[in-house]
Every structure is written in C-alpha cells, then in structure tokens.
Structure 1
Amino acid sequence: MKSANVLEKVLVTGGAGFLGSHLCERLLKTGADVLCVDNFFTGSKANIAHLIGKPTFELMRHDVTFPLYVEVDKIFNLACPASPVHYQYDPVQTAKTSVNGAINMLGLAKRLKARILQASTSEIYGDPEMHPQTEGYWGRVNPVGIRSCYDEGKRCAETLFFDYWRQHNLNIKVIRIFNTYGPRMHPDDGRVVSNFIVQALRGVDITLYGDGEQTRSFCYVDDLIEGMMAMMQSRDEITGPINMGNPTEFTMRELAELTLKLTGSKSKLSFLPLPSDDPRRRKPDITVAREQLGWSPKVSLEDGLKETVRYFRHTLDL
C-alpha cells in the first residue's frame, strides 16, 4: 500500500491520442502522477497542451516498439493507430506497435509487478456472425486482408496478455473498445463520426458506403473513460476481456441524418462502394461490464454529437 502522501504513478501509452488525452486528464483529477508516452504518429501535442506544466503530468516522446525503463504503479496500454486511414498507412508498423508494444509493456509490468490494462478493440470480432457480440465469441476475421495488421495485431496482443497472466501471474485487465467518439478526434482519421461532421460543416457531400444500412454503436468518450477507470480499479480476478461500448445501434444513414440536423448543413448524401472487410453490423453485449463493473454508458448519441460538433466547429473554425 502506498502512503497517503505518495502519488500513484500511472503510465499511459498513446497518451497524446484521442482516448489517451482524455484518460490522462481524468487520471490527473484523481490525484495520480501521470506519465504520458507517445511517438506522435497519430497523437498530437495539442490534445495534451492544457496538461503540460501541471506538476503531476510528464510527457515523454517514445515508441513502444522499443523497451521503456520507468518506474510506475499502473500501466494503461493505448498505443496504436486506431483508424483504418492511419493503421493502413504503415501496416507493418501497426502490427509491430500492437505486438512488440504489448511485449515491451508486459515486460515492464512484470518487472515492476504493476497492474496493466490493454485497450483492445471490437475489431477482434471482425465481420461478426453473432449479433450482438459477446466476449465468448471468437470472431470472424480475415488474417490476410487490408485491416489484418490492426485486427490480428490486437488479437495477438490479447494472447500475450493472457499468457503473461497464466505464466507469470501478472495482474492484467483487457477491454474491447467499440466505436467511440467525441472531442479531440482527428478530423482526417477516416472514422465515420468525424467524417460526417467535417463533411457537413464544410458543406460537401456526406459519404456513405454501400446502402448506408450497415450499423454501428457509438459510445461517447467520457463514458468510455469511466469504463476504463472502473476496469483498472476492479478486483484482481476480473481480467476481462470485457466489451466497452454503447449497445444502442444506429445505421450509417441515421447517423448522417442526425449529423445534418445538428450542424444545420445543406450537404447531400453520396453513396460509394463498401470497403473491403468492412463489418456490416457491430454492437456490443455489455452484460459483463454491467455485472462486474457496474458500468454502462450514460450519454445519448445526440448529446454526444452536439459536443463533438462544437469541438470541430472551433477546431476547424467553421
């Protein structure tokens, strides 16, 4: 046990990214001493600029594919490009970040006897035949497709986490993150929420793929961060994997129409062919998160989109 006057030291890899920056902010509010590590491939100093200078926040430029030697009590491993545009730009590096990054962070956690949380993904399930997806579903994933660098990299990372747990009795936590959105998303990351908002604000056609009837479930970033905090603080025997996302399902057409309503845009809908290996349906079963963590999302899609639209209006000056 740490004494009351000693701050808990927490490492966040990928800490300058969309989710990582929100997590760093949330950890600082709990009184933690936060070490934010990022190589700035997709992360941005702008995301954590308001945290620099705080006495309990430290920023380090580092690539997790190389070993890291620091002293911390807990590790949140978020480092990895998470949008198809970014992870397909350098697929070999993406796979290395997931696999070598996991090996390096698990090795660090083993040396320090630290608790470590892996930010895994709903892409574990691929283009699922089970709907909604439960943690017991093994997935339907293409191992040689254009998305495989990310999908299979994250699957291998989960394997490593559970092997370290079985072989070395490491204190692990694994969450599978479904579509999450909110302020600090990258405007050109190719994700559907940022795409639709930016296109609507710029007055260009909103791009839908296929017939626009494929579905996703959208979780606001504040809800997701609370889930991550709850998982890290949970009992040792709760290892996961645990789904984290919003189980309310929307079609892409519904999302586009709501975006047009909230932005007041006159943009039209434009339909293009469906990309390779793009899942038709994606919806989490969050029964385990509710039962084991007492967690479920609170923010509605409309309320979350309002905040996200406000952020992009300010950021893009539109």
Structure 2
Amino acid sequence: MCDRFIAEGYHVIAMDNLITGDLKNIEHLFRHEHFEYYHHDVTKFVHVPDRLDYILHFASPASPIDYLKIPIQTLKVGALGTHNLLGLAKEKKARILIASTSEVYGDPLVHPQTEEYYGNVNTIGPRGVYDEAKRFQESITMAYHRFHGLETRIVRIFNTYGPRMRLNDGRVIPAFMGQALRGEDLTVFGDGSQTRSFCYVDDQVEGIYRLLLSDYALPVNIGNPHEITIRDFAEEIIKLTGTDQKIVFKPLPKDDPMQRQPDITKAREILGWEPQVGREEGMKKTFDYFRTLSREDLERKEHRDFSGRNRR
C-alpha cells in the first residue's frame, strides 16, 4: 500500500508498533522524501501534526497464531485503535478506510459470501477475539459515518498472498511454502475439504485503492472468487516447489471456516474491479520470493511480545 500511494504522488506516513510487522518490508522507502515512519501503537492516543487527507487502518494481527497468542491486544486494536483513528479522521476531516476481513462471516452458512450476509460467528470461541474485533470495528465505523457524517470506507479482505509475507505465521501459503522449502511434510488440518480463495497482493491493493477513492460507504468484498480445497492446494504447492513431501493431516481447529469464497459483484459494479493475476502466476512470484530467504529465515520460529520486539 505504501509503495502504491507513493507511486501515485502522495506523501505517506506509516505507523506500526511492529507487534507482527517487520521493518524489512518498508526499509526501501526510508530514503524517499515522501515517506515517514512512526513507531507507535494505535491503541494509544494518535497525534499527527500535519494535514491528513486519507487514513487507512490496517492495524491488527491477522494470523491465528498471532491473535491466539495476543488475544487482548487483538481486541484492543479493533476497538480502541479504531476509535482513536476514527477520532483522528474526524479531527483532520479526512476520509478513513477500515480494513475488515472475511472472518466477519465466520463459518458461513451462505456460499459464496455476499456483503449482506450477517455471518455465523462464535463470539466466545478462541477465534472470536479476531472475528468480533473486526465486527465491532465495522459497527463503530458506520456509527461515525452516520452520526458524525465522517467519510468512511470498509473493505472486507479475503485471503491475500504475495512477496514479503512472513513465514511461520500460521497462514496457509507461508506455512505450506516454508514446510516445502525445509523439506518437511505439508500439514493439512481436518480432511482438507475446507476451501479458501486466494487473492494476489497487487490485485488486493488495486481494489483497496479504488474503494478508498470511491463514494461507497458500505462494506465491499475484495478477494479472488476462484475457490480451491486445502488438500488440492497442498498438492499444487508440492508440484510448484518440485518437492516430494507427503501431506499429513491434523485435527481441525475449533471454528475453522469450512468454506471461504467472496461474492465480488459489488466490487465489479461499483469499482470496476476484479482480480487480474491467476493463482499459478501469483504463486510462482510468491515462491520465487520465499526462495530468496536465508536458511536462518526459513528455520526461524518467531515469538513476539507486546513491545513488537522479536524474541527467538
């Protein structure tokens, strides 16, 4: 997102406490005159002295490994962090885009998922800390829109992948690719019949950019509607990486969604957007990135504390 906005001629201020992020992803921008970085936790009061035209709120752990380790922080960034940034947008008279997620649909009873579907979420289950944080985030955003007249946008992001992903964070693609590159068998949870739909990062950024600049305030799904079972996807990874690993099966985590496929009718009609990068092309680019990582990166098991510093 930072790269895209700088390329479009904007001055970009990035803010992150690095609880799950990595400065390596933006270090190439530090020398750019139109880029600034603030090391800050948005659950604390946020002050930016200069004019702001747009605010994009993406602060939240997104991996099950992360949000199950730091559940309170996950809830706080969805609630307090969103409240702080909505207040900042109100003060600056800025338009704000909130990054929501397909997880607001929970384990869906409607397929594919449309924006009008209210979801099937276990509020007190282990995944509820993420799902409900995002659902509250949408609610308070719409409250600011309706009560204060704030210009708001809500994107519901489906599974997204591409270069600069973090290995060993528990999400499907980096988990499979990390295992393949280390010569390990690929772990599939359940029987592998659950489905996911993977969107390449460039397509995701384009959809978000168009939504921000649109005049549509209600949530919009941005994702790739081409669905695949996890078992078939594991087979694709083995073929892509040229390895001969086996697939091993482990118990399905509680409340893990069995189906995930976006209905992108609204994105097509309102934004003129749909994915352009096929899974074969996108996965090759992603694998080429992971192959550049060092053996240390491949073997690293990250544990993070709330300061955002890495502890091995």
TM-score, length basis structure 2: 0.93
Match of 1:190? 170
SS at match of 2:121: coil
Q: Which residue of 1 aligns with 2:9?
A: 31
* 2:61 corresponding residue in structure 1: 81
Aligned partner of 2:283 among 305, 313, 316 = 305
Deviation at 1:96, TM superposition (A): 0.1
Aligned-pair CA distance for 1:188: 1.1
1:286 aligns with 2:234: no
**Map of 2:255 onto structure 1:** 277
Q: Identity of aligned pairs, percent?
A: 52
Q: Distance in 2 between matches of 1:88 and 1:155?
A: 17
2:122 partner amino acid = N
| 1:117 counterpart residue number | 97
Q: Secondary structure at the match of 1:117?
A: strand
Q: Does 1:143 align with 2:123?
A: yes
Query: Which residue is equivalent to 2:293?
Result: 315
- Paired amino acid for 2:184: V
Give the drift of 1:316. Answer: 3.5
Q: Match for 2:226 among 241, 245, 248?
A: 248
Q: Which secondary structure does the structure 2 equivalent of 1:151 belong to? A: helix
Give 3-state SS (helix, strand or coil) of 1:88's partner: helix
Q: List runs of 5+ in structure 1 lacking aligned partners.
A: 1-22
Aligned residues: 294
The match for 1:11 is: none
> Alpha-carbon deviation of 1:122?
0.2
Q: How does 1:207-222 map to 2 (within 5 A)?
A: 207-222=187-202
Q: Partners in 1 of 2:78 and 2:169 — Cα distance?
A: 19
Partner Cα distance (2:222, 2:133) in 1: 19
Is 1:134 the counterpart of 2:114 in the alignment? yes
Pairing 1:42–2:20 present: yes
Say which SS state the counterpart of residue 119 (structure 1) adopts. Answer: strand
How far apart, in 1, do the equivalents of 2:218 and 2:274 lie? Answer: 16
Aligned partners of 1:113 and 1:57: how far apart in 2?
21
SS of the residue aligned with 1:59?
A: strand
Over the aligned positions, Cα root-mean-square deviation in angstroms equals 0.8
For 1:259, give the aligned amino acid.
I
Local SS of the residue matching 1:111? helix
How far has the Cα of 1:240 moved from its partner? 2.2
Q: Deviations over 1:115-164 (max 9, x none)?
A: 00000000000000000000000000000011111100000000000000
What TM-score, normalized by structure 1, do the two folds share?
0.91
| Whole-Å separation in 2 of the counterparts to 1:29 and 1:198 | 31
Correspondence for 1:13: none
Report SS of the residue matched to 1:140: coil
Deviations 1:26-76 (A, max 9, x none): 111001000000000001010101111110000110000011111311000
Distance 2:207 2:126 in 1: 30
**Secondary structure of 1:134's aligned partner:** coil
CA distance in 2, matches of 1:244, 1:230: 11
Which structure ranks higher in relative contact order (CA pairs < 8 Å, sequence separation ≥ 6)?
Answer: 2
Give the AA of the match of 2:183. G
Match in the other structure for 2:309: none
Whole-Å Cα distance in 2 between the matches of residues 112 and 260 of structure 1? 50
Q: In structure 2, give the amino acid aligned to 1:66.
A: K
SS in 1 for 2:98: strand
Runs of 4+ in structure 1 over 4 Å off: none
Q: Secondary structure at the match of 1:98?
A: helix
SS of 1:102's equivalent in the other structure is helix
Distance 1:227 1:138 in 2: 22
Counterpart of 2:263 in 1: which secondary structure?
coil
| Per-residue CA distance 1:202-245 (angstroms, 9 max, x = gap) | 1101000111111000000000000010001112xx11200010
Q: Which amino acid aligns with 2:32?
A: K
